[in-house]
Amino acid sequence: MSDPLPHPTSLVQRLREAQAEHGWLPRPLLAGLAGELGLPLAHVEGVASFYRFFHLQPVGRYRILFSDNITDRMLGNQALMADLCRRLGVQPGVMRADGRVSVATASCTGLCDQGPAMLVNHHQVITRLDAERVARIAELIEAEVPPAQWSAEWSRVDDNIRRADVLLGSALAPGEALAAGLARGPEGTIEEIKRSNLRGRGGAGFATGTEWALCRQAPGDQRVVVCNADEGEPGTFKDRVLLTRHADLVFEGMTVAAFAIGAAQGFVYLRGEYRYLLEQLEAVLQRRREAKLLGEGILGRDGFDFDITIHLGAGAYVCGEESALIESLEGKRGTPRIRPPFPVRHGYLGRPTSVNNVETFCAAAYIVQRGSAWWAGIGTPKSTGTKIHSISGDCERPGIYEYPFGTRVETMLVDCGARDTQAVQVGGPSGTCLSASEFGRRICFEDVPTAGALMVFDRSRDMFEVARNFAQFFAHESCGFCTPCRVGTELVVRRLDKLAAGRGSRHDVEVLYELDKLMHGATHCGLGGAACNPLRDTIAKFRPSYERHLKSLHFEPGFDLDAELSEARAATGRDDAGAHLESSHE
């Protein structure tokens, strides 16, 4: 299929291609791209510098990125990375003098059920790392063996489906849901989705039928359907498995949405870490075109034209936020937009755009085929149907579990073989941390909502270190657009590092509370708003973990309250910053 992207919008993809060819992005190359796309060089440089997978300085011909999620750490990634660096004589984040290799970390690569994991040259994944694999990898790099010739077994990615329910356990023939949608008509399809009370699986839980209706009704004649496959929330890997095992179903759901909304153009925004899935996804798309399930006159219906392009991300978690995702699709930096207007009215290139999660499209396809009553009969009244969970951490059987909404956390812990569990992080770092007294709670929008991650921590884990890893994640992924998030996330990391080094006092915990309050209402997008969630939960529920790191229970001698307050004010731009601190000091 010819690339439907107008040229400037293809910038991010062009940068990826250029880097895949040259290894990094030297200035003359950027200047060439700028000329070709009719863009100022400063714009091209600004976009390239935004994404972590683009390199404006030379990097090693072998670029190794260790996944650095908390579950990778629990599986020993830090010692393995130190070992690899020692064997290769390289410092983390610094290219070796001969230009052969660089080793660094990436946020979660979506392989938590089979970590520790690494990415090689942004293209190849290696799972289940251990000391032996690391030693062999060092030898292969020294011998300049291309990664494509390394053991295929190392790149094996298992689906690990442990519990299948109606989505993972049934089969839908390609075109079946689409035929049901055509029979219902666009309005009838939207009504069916509304009646099912399907809520988006990407986190916010917005009613999918309402979103499609708003998009259909929005002024404009070129509508767009986007599948959000950015899956950047640490601990989440269910979309990886849906795209691996059920790509047809995902594309079917997107095509049903296109029919209902009246869209001719579709995108899958695939996170860069899942680059290894690209060829097989393209092959499924091609098969669907040949079967008349994509392209012009789908299933013989005149005027029903729709096709899907896969757009690869480049290592920016914030691009999972729907408006940042759209900016990235347009070839720009992934800075979240000011909303309203919402994407359903003003999305990709100003066109009405519906952005939905991978799992949402799968559910929608089934609902259109089997009917809303069937779906609404599963789960709870406000959370209908099933939810797919990615379970990882301290359990015997990490992997994918599909449950009806309303299932209790304790049931999931038994099923995955968790023992002596101290805490469960539901929904990734942006979600909720539950302590043992809360394991009777239910996963649903009425109680504990989730985008699909469930990380298990047994009693040997230091919950302070868990919170510190999450804080590092948010500071690393803040896009830097607004001050409270950019500075606030860094200040949180600094405080936690101080506590970890044994130099902190109770005052530091107070400041952390304060930073949470200040950031909560003052940030531009959900990333900054959620950045302190793990901190708040763990301080409240696992206070002893923090106390163990406190140097003293009082303010340290020489503590300068004024300096602390002006730091908090500078961070947030709010004059009331630190009011709580002042009163507690008095």
**Residue type present at position 166:** V
Binding segment toward ligand SF4, per CB under 6 A, in 75-83, 199-207, 269-277, 481-489: 481-489
Q: Is 253 in the site for ligand FMN (CB under 6 A)?
A: no
Environment class of 21 (CB within 10 Å of its CB; exposed 0-12, middle 13-18, buried 19+): exposed
Residue 486 touches ligand SF4, criterion: CB under 6 A: yes
Q: Which residues inside 536-565 make contact with ligand SF4, applying CB under 6 A?
A: none
Q: At its nearest, how many Å lie between ligand SF4 and the CB of residue 322?
A: 12
Verify binding: residue 414, ligand FMN, rule CB under 6 A.
no
- DSSP E strands in 122-208: the ranges are 124-126, 161-163
Nearer to ligand SF4, 115 or 336 (CB): 336
Burial class (CB in 10 A: 0-12, 13-18, 19+), 411: middle
Q: Is 199 left (phi over 0), alpha (psi -120 to 50) or beta?
A: beta
Which span sits near ligand FMN by CB under 6 A: 47-55, 194-202, 242-250, 397-405?
194-202
| Residue 515: CA count within 13 A, CB half-sphere | 35
What is the four-CA torsion angle of 451, 456, 457, 463, rounded to 10 degrees? 0
Residue 486 contact, options ligand SF4, ligand FMN, none, Cβ 5-8 Å cut-off depending on partner type: ligand SF4
Contact status: 485 vs ligand SF4 (CB under 6 A): yes
- Nearest CB to ligand FMN, comparing residues 127 and 357: 357
Residues 517-536 binding ligand SF4 (CB under 6 A) are 523-525, 527-528
Nearer residue to ligand SF4 within complex by CB, 320 or 406: 320
Please report whether residue 326 would count as binding ligand SF4 according to CB under 6 A: no
As measured in angstroms, the least distance from the Cβ of 523 to ligand SF4 is: 4
| Listed ranges 88-96, 227-235, 244-252, 298-306: which one lies at the site for ligand FMN (CB under 6 A) | 227-235
Q: Which of 179, 166, 200 is CA-nearest to residue 259?
A: 179
Name residues whose C-beta falls within 8 Å of residue 87's C-beta, 6 or more positions apart in sequence: 134, 135, 138
Q: Which stretch binds ligand FMN (CB under 6 A): 7-15, 257-265, 483-491, 519-527?
A: 519-527
**Minimum distance from CB of 576 to ligand FMN (Å)?**
25
Residue 480: name its binding partner from ligand SF4, ligand FMN, none (Cβ under 5 to 8 Å by kind).
ligand SF4
Closest approach of Cβ 531 to ligand SF4, in Å? 7
> Of these partners, ligand FMN, ligand SF4, none, which one is at the site of residue 202 (CB under 5 to 8 Å by kind)?
ligand FMN
- Are β-strands 399-404 and 504-505 bridged in parallel, bridged antiparallel, or unpaired? unpaired
Q: Which amino acid is at 216?
A: R
The answer to whether residue 455 forms part of the interface with ligand FMN (CB under 6 A) is: no
Residues near ligand FMN (CB under 6 A), total: 23
**From candidates 360, 383, 425, 450, binder to ligand FMN by CB under 6 A:** 360
What SS3 string covers 264-332? Answer: EEEEEEECHHHHHHHHHHHHHHHHHHHCCCCECCHHHCCCCCEEEEEEECCCCHHHHCHHHHHHHHCCC
Our finding on whether 456 is near ligand FMN (CB under 6 A) is no
Contacts of 543 (CB under 8 A, 6+ apart): none
Q: Specify the 3-state DSSP secondary structure of 93.
A: coil
- Among ligand FMN, ligand SF4, none, partner that 357 touches (CB below 5 to 8 angstroms by kind): ligand FMN
In whole angstroms, give the CA distance from residue 271 to residue 315. Answer: 7
Candidate list 318, 329, 413, 455; residue touching ligand FMN; CB under 6 A = 318
Pairing of strands 399-404, 386-393: antiparallel
Q: Which does 232 bind (CB under 5 to 8 A by kind): ligand FMN, ligand SF4, none?
A: ligand FMN
Which residue, judged by CB position, is nearest to ligand SF4 in the bound state?
Answer: 528
356 makes contact with ligand FMN (CB under 6 A): yes
Check whether the bond before 341 is cis (ω within 30° of 0).
yes
Q: 126 or 485, CB closer to ligand SF4?
A: 485
Q: Does 248 bind ligand FMN (CB under 6 A)?
A: no
Q: Identify each DSSP E strand in 369-426 by its residue range.
A: 386-393, 399-404, 421-426
Q: Which of 202, 431, 488, 578 binds ligand FMN (CB under 6 A)?
A: 202
Please give the torsion angle defined by the CA atoms of residues 308, 311, 312 and 315, in that order, rounded to the nearest 10 degrees. -130
Q: Which is nearer to ligand FMN, 252 or 567 (CB)?
A: 252
- Verify binding: residue 334, ligand SF4, rule CB under 6 A: no
CB of 321 to ligand SF4, least distance (A): 7
Q: Which does 322 bind (CB under 5 to 8 A by kind): ligand FMN, ligand SF4, none?
A: ligand FMN
CA distance 285 to 307: 9
Using rule CB under 6 A, residue 479 touches ligand SF4: yes
Among 357, 372, 432, 523, binds ligand FMN (CB under 6 A): 357
- Kindly tell me the number of DSSP H helices and DSSP E strands found in the chain: 23, 16
Exactly one of 26, 92, 417, 526 binds ligand FMN (CB under 6 A); that residue is 526
Q: Is 201 in the site for ligand FMN (CB under 6 A)?
A: yes
SS3 174: coil
Which amino acid is residue 91, in one-letter code? Q
Q: How far is the CB of 204 from ligand FMN (least distance, A)?
A: 4
What phi, psi does 163 have (nearest 5°)?
Answer: -140, 115
Q: Do residues 430 and 473 make contact, with C-beta atoms less than 8 angstroms apart?
A: no
Min separation Cβ 201 and ligand FMN, Å? 5
Extract the tokens encoding 540. 């409240």
CA distances from 126 to 112, 130, 134, 196, 340 (A): 12, 11, 10, 40, 42
In the sheet where 386-393 sits, what is the strand order? 161-163, 399-404, 386-393, 453-458, 421-426, 432-435
Give the residue, chosen from 24, 206, 374, 555, that forms a contact with ligand FMN under the rule CB under 6 A: 206
- In the complex with ligand SF4, which residue's Cβ is closer, 224 or 487? 487
The SS3 of residue 240 is helix
Measured from the CB atom, the residue of 113 and 508 that comes closer to ligand FMN is 113
Q: Which residues bind ligand FMN (CB under 6 A)?
A: 200-204, 206, 208, 228, 230-233, 318, 320-322, 355-357, 360, 525-527
Q: Which residues bind ligand SF4 (CB under 6 A)?
A: 318, 336, 478-482, 485-486, 523-525, 527-528
